[in-house]
Structure 1
Amino acid sequence: MGILEDLQQTIAANPIILFMKGTPQAPQCGFSKTAAQILRDCGIEFATVDVLANPAIRQTLPSYSNWPTFPQLFVNNELVGGCDILIELHQDGQLQKMLQTAANKVH
């Protein structure tokens, strides 16, 4: 299986997944730190992939998602966006609703 298939499978298998630099416990950039903190603040479980530890994913994901930077949040197989979009969605309450809906589909 190629990296593209691996990516698609990983995204499909995780209703809420954040591709970030580092981990939520040890983020390696400010944008990733902010994105992970916003998701934690929402109180919903989410998966993460450290793109620094996975160079093939770091190289392939931007062309797959048509989003050039990290972090990238996917919810229910759809790209939501990066840090700026997460901040905006969180401030107006849309992110919490979106994440809750995704989390409820799992249970």
Structure 2
Amino acid sequence: MSGTQITSEMIQDQTYLEKVKPISALMWINEETVPSVVAYRKYDKVQPFKGSQRLLKTYQDHHVDYQYFVAEHSGHGLQNDNKIYYQYMQTVEAYLDKYIPVEESVNK
């Protein structure tokens, strides 16, 4: 997925990390990361669920305001978890209202 070959030696000496940085959300998180709403799916074959645990720890380590949802019955989409999808979208809207409020027009 990174477009470059990654060898077992690169994994052992950790030099692969720089190769995967462009496609790894985890590696871009710092104290200036914007608040985030994320949903992970238990049966995702593109982004394994275990990866979400590292992401959460990184959000916590850098004190990022985040909300995390688990779709217990879905693969890469949220197609099998309508209730979670609804909660996720409600939370996205709440975060937008909180962090990027739209000012009402005075000419109404």
TM-score by length of 1: 0.31
Bigger fraction of residues in helix: 1
TM-score normalised according to structure 2 size = 0.31
Q: Which has the higher strand share?
A: 1
Tell me which structure has the larger Cα radius of gyration: 2
